[in-house]
Every structure is written in C-alpha cells, then in structure tokens.
A = this chain, B = another copy of it.
C-alpha cells in the first residue's frame, strides 16, 4: 500500500488561519515537503512551525532564485522522485502550500508529476484573495458581480483587456509590476477604487494607499483589489 500525497493549504500567513483538517493531517504525516529559497527559511514552513509536533522527516524543495516564478522543471523532477520513494514505502507526504494548493500554488508541479501514480488529496485553504479582502475590510464581490483575478506580470494591453467590463478585480503577484499596474488602473479610471495590501494576515501586513507605494517597493506577496462601484455592497 503506497502512501498518500496531501496538498495542504495552510492559509495566507496567520498560523491561526489553518483549517482543522490541515492541522490534523500536518501533525500526522511522517514526511513534510515544502518550497524554500535557495538559502534560508521557507515561508510556508514558518507558517506551520507553531503547530509541528517534532520528529517529522522534512524535504525542503529549494528553488534557485532566478527560477522562482517559473520553477526549474529539474528541481521538481528531483523533488518528485525523492517524495515518490517515501510514498512507495507507504509513508504519507504532506506538501505544504501557502494559501490554497490549486490557486496559483507551486503544489501543481508535484501534482502533475505524482498524481498518476499515487493517491493525492488536496485540502483547500484560505486563499490570499479573501484574506486580502478581509484585511482591507472591503467586501470583494456581491450578488451577480463578476470577479477577475489577474496576474500583474501580464503585458499592459492584456491587463487592460482583462479589466474591461468586470465588476471587481484582484491583481495578484504585483511585485515589480506596480508602475505598470498603476498606469493601467489610471487609464481605466479605477485608481480611486483600488486598494493595496501586502503580506495580508502576516506579522508584517501593511495597508497603505496605492498612491503611497513606491514603484519599486511592492513585494511579491502583494495584491490590489478594485471594485467598480467602489464597494461591493453598493
């Protein structure tokens, strides 16, 4: 009997925003796997740290900095091989994912490599999308609102096209693309309705007016929420 690969959504950052189910599976798994930078601490490992019982085998999937966004396939090939040894030996593996595993999560790369051979279960988590809305105190969508989730790295024309006609938008992965996103929002007449948050629910959460963020000062974990009516309940 092979082990099960669990994709554990651990939520947006606050360790208390983990689900009871993720907590139970986290503590029970003999093997943990998580993404980590080339050197230093894993963010997702830090989120679950207060909950770890100790004594678990840990596999840090270390990503060279240059490949951080579109991960080097070789890194995941190697990680999948290492995890498959545990799974084949009957050991469950909990792959830790910030937010939700299937919402822009790097878990996808393990899923693509292992789901044909091993049982996989995904535990949904609180995503950054609703965590940011809660942090901002701003309802995201109501009634028959259409919401678009748009990654900021897209070209300017694509961003404009995707914003057209939607009621609400979440622009994710802002990072170094802030100047471009601001230009697009201004061109669409949406600057006044845009709200910016970084590191939602983490200890270093920061909410400032979008106009007050320097072009080069937005971290990767930042998001801009926009609602055409100004607020979803209007």
Contacts and interface: CB of A to CB of B under 8 A. Distances in A.
Contact of A9 (B7, B130, B142, B158): B130
Contact of A126 (B126, B142, B145): B126
A126 B124 CA distance: 7
Contact of A103 (B112, B123, B130): B130
B20 A141 contact: no
B142 A146 contact: no
Interface string A5-18: 00101011011111
B120 A125 contact: no
Contacts of A115: 137
Interface residues on A, range: 35 or more
Contacts of A112: 233
Contact of A18 (B19, B130, B137, B141): B19
A151 B145 contact: yes
A102 B127 CA distance: 12
A185 interface: no
30 contacts: A9-B130, A12-B124, A16-B20, A17-B20, A19-B126, A20-B20, A20-B23, A69-B143, A100-B134, A102-B134, A102-B140, A102-B141, A102-B232, A104-B143, A104-B145, A108-B139, A108-B142, A108-B233, A109-B233, A111-B233, A112-B233, A124-B133, A124-B201, A125-B126, A141-B149, A144-B153, A144-B173, A146-B148, A161-B165, A162-B165
A21 B12 contact: no
Contacts of A137: 115, 120, 122
B20 A124 contact: no
A231 to B, nearest CB: 8
A137 B109 CA distance: 14
Contacts of A126: 9, 19, 100, 124-126
Interface string A60-80: 000000000110000000000
